[in-house]
Amino acid sequence: MAVPKRKTSKARRNKRRAHWKAKAPKLVECPHCGELKAPHVACLDCGFYKDRQAIRVKK
């Protein structure tokens, strides 16, 4: 069974994890109401998706 000969240092471990982080969600403007929403998802503010009413929204 393979076993490490030496302990991995904190610096070496952290270099490997440098790109392992959360990314900000991508947002686009809704063409119908102008609110920010996720792309390819119905707008939660007005309920429109691709120029049609996809969901009913209670206001």
Could you report the per-residue pLDDT of 15-41, keeping only the tens digit for each?
999 999 999 999 999 999 999 999 999
Query: Are the CB atoms for 12 and 23 separated by under 8 Å?
Result: no
Separation of alpha carbons 5 and 37, rounded Å: 50
Q: Which pLDDT does position 43 carry in this prediction?
A: 94
Percent over 70 (pLDDT), the chain = 100
Separation of alpha carbons 4 and 52, rounded Å: 59
| Mean pLDDT taken over the chain | 93
Separation of alpha carbons 47 and 53, rounded Å: 6
Q: Which pLDDT does position 59 carry in this prediction?
A: 73
**1 confidence band (pLDDT: 50, 70, 90):** confident
Q: Which pLDDT does position 5 carry in this prediction?
A: 95
Determine which helix (DSSP H) or strand (DSSP E) holds 53, and give its type and residue range: strand 52-53
